[in-house]
Amino acid sequence: MRETQGPLVGVRIVELGGVGPVPFCCMLLSDLGADIIRIDRPPGYDGGVPVDSRFNLLHRGRRSAAFDLKQPEAAGAVLKLVARADALVEGFRPGVAEKLGLGPDACLAANPALVYGRMTGWGQDGPLAQAPGHDVNYISLTGVLHAIGPANGPPVMPLNLAGDFGGGSLYLALGVVSAILESRRSGKGQVVDAAMVDGSASLMTLCYGLLASGYWKDQRGSNRLDSGAPWYNVYETKDGRWISVGSNEARFWRNTLEVLGLSEVDMPDQHDTSRWPEVHEKFAAIFRTRTRDEWCALAEGREVCFAPVLSMTEAPTHPHLRARGTFVERDGVVQPAPAPRFSRTPGAIQRAPAKPGEHTDEALRDWGFSAGELDSLRESRVIV
C-alpha cells in the first residue's frame, strides 16, 4: 500500500459507491489522509459520470473494489470491512442499505464504535424521504434558489454547489469527522444523518437572520449580497468580459469610486437603496469603457474589492492561484489541490481516480482478507 499523508492518516472508511455528494465527501477525507476503500458496482454498470475514469476527479485518492451487493454473501464481506473501519458512508435512499443487510443496526453490531454516515437529499424521515430529487430540488425547498438571481429574472442555478456539495458533502464530512472524534473518546458509534435540505438551509443562516430583522427583503436582486447593491455586483466590460465588485465597507466603496473616476460628493449615500438602480446604471456604463484587463491593471495595488470573472480555463493560470498552488496537474489532468491546508500534516492527492474494481484484491488483502476468502467471494460472484 502506498504511503499516505494528511491529518486523517490512520482513519479507515468504507465508502458504498454512489454519485455526487458522497464521492466528493470521500474525496475530501481522502485528500486529508483517510484510507478509504470504495465499494463500486461491477464494471459495466451504467451510471455516474460518462467520462474516462482518469477525469472523474471525485473518485481520486481511493482504491476501488467491485462488489455485487445483491449477492447473498456480499453483506458479510462488507461487514468484515466494517469491523476494521472507523466509518462507513452511504448515499442510498432510506431503507436501501437495510435491504442489502448493511443498515446501521447490522453495521453497528459488527463494530459498536462505527460512525455510520448517511447522505440523502430529503433526509431519513419526513413526508419526502422516499421521493426522488436532485440538488436543484433541495435548494428550491429551502429558499436558496429563490434568493439567487436578478430582481426581474428567474432564479439562477448555482451549479450543484449549494445542495450537493455545500449542503451535502461538506456537512457529511464534518459530521463524520466529528463523530469519529467522539467515538474515540466514548468507544460508541452513531449514525450521522446528513440531508441536503438540512445543510443547504444551514448555509442560509445569515440570510434568515437578516430576514427576521427586516433588513433582508424576500425578493431576489434587492439586497446587498444578491446583486441588488451596485457595489456588490458584476459588470460587463468593453471586451464582453466581466468584473466583480464587492465593496461592502465604506472605505472600499470610496476607493472603488476613485477607480471609476467618480467623486463621493456627487454620489448618493452608499446604502440609499432607492438610488441603487441609478448607481448600477452609472457603474455599468463606466465599466463598458475599458476592457477587463485594463480595469484589473487600473485597480491593481489599490484597496478595492475587485476581481476579474475568470473562466474555468483561465482560473488555473492566474498569478495568485499559481503562486499558492490552488490548482495542480496530476497525471495530465489540471484539478483543484486539496484544501484546507495544514502546516504540519499537509494533505495530498493520494492517487489518481480508480476504475471500478481496479484494486479489488489489493485493497481487500490490506483490509484483512485471505487468499482463500477472496477465492470464495469470487466463486460466489460477490467480487469480479
Write out pLDDT tens, residues 266-320.
Answer: 899 999 999 999 999 999 999 999 999 999 999 999 999 999 999 999 999 999 9
pLDDT of residue 3: 77
Q: What is the mean pLDDT of the chain?
A: 95
Does residue 1 have a pLDDT over 50?
no
How many whole angstroms separate alpha carbon 370 and alpha carbon 299?
A: 64
Reported as a pLDDT band with limits 50, 70 and 90, residue 331 is: very high
pLDDT of residue 53: 87
Tell me the helix, strand and coil percentages in the chain, rounded to 5. Answer: 40, 15, 45
Average pLDDT of span 39-53: 73
Q: What is the CATH number of domain 12-203+328-379?
A: 3.40.50.10540
Does residue 333 have a pLDDT over 70?
yes
How many whole angstroms separate alpha carbon 9 and alpha carbon 257?
A: 50
pLDDT of residue 80: 98
**C-alpha closest to that of 62 among 102, 15, 116, 11:** 15
Percent of the chain clearing pLDDT 90 (strictly above): 93
Q: How far is CA 364 from CA 63, 85, 151, 180, 278, in A?
A: 10, 13, 55, 22, 65
Do 12-203+328-379 and 232-236+242-308 show the same overall fold? no
Reported as a pLDDT band with limits 50, 70 and 90, residue 384 is: confident
Output the DSSP codes for 6-25.
STTTT-EEEEE--STHHHHH
pLDDT of residue 49: 64
Reported as a pLDDT band with limits 50, 70 and 90, residue 48 is: low
C-alpha cell at 243: 468584473
pLDDT of residue 95: 96
pLDDT of residue 46: 46
Does residue 226 have a pLDDT over 80?
yes
Output the DSSP codes for 270-337.
TT-GGGHHHHHHHHHHHHTTS-HHHHHHHHTTSS--EEE---TTTGGGSHHHHHHT-EEEETTEEEEP
Q: Where are the alpha helices (DSSP H) in the chain?
A: 21-31, 74-82, 96-99, 104-110, 135-141, 170-186, 196-203, 205-213, 250-259, 276-287, 292-299, 319-324, 360-366, 371-379
Residue type (1 letter), 19:
V
Percent of the chain clearing pLDDT 70 (strictly above): 98
C-alpha cell at 74: 456480499
Give the domain ranges of the chain.
12-203+328-379, 232-236+242-308
Average pLDDT of span 186-211: 98
Q: Taking each helix axis from N to C terminus, what angle separates 250-259 and 292-299, rounded to the nearest 10 degrees? A: 120
pLDDT of residue 2: 60
- Please state which of the four CATH numbers 3.30.1540.10, 3.90.1150.10, 3.50.4.10, 3.40.50.1820 is assigned to the domain occupying 232-236+242-308: 3.30.1540.10
Does residue 234 have a pLDDT over 70?
yes
Write phi, then psi, for 364 (nearest 5 degrees): -65, -35
Residue 202 CB burial class (10 angstroms; 0-12, 13-18, ≥19): middle
Average pLDDT of span 222-231: 96
Average pLDDT of span 319-335: 97
Does residue 47 have a pLDDT over 80?
no
Does residue 44 have a pLDDT over 80?
no
Residue with cell 464534518: 174
Residue with cell 449477492: 71
How many whole angstroms separate alpha carbon 380 and alpha carbon 40?
A: 17
Does residue 259 have a pLDDT over 90?
yes
Write out the catalytic residue numbers: 134, 164
Residue pair 35/4 in contact by the 8 Å Cβ criterion: yes
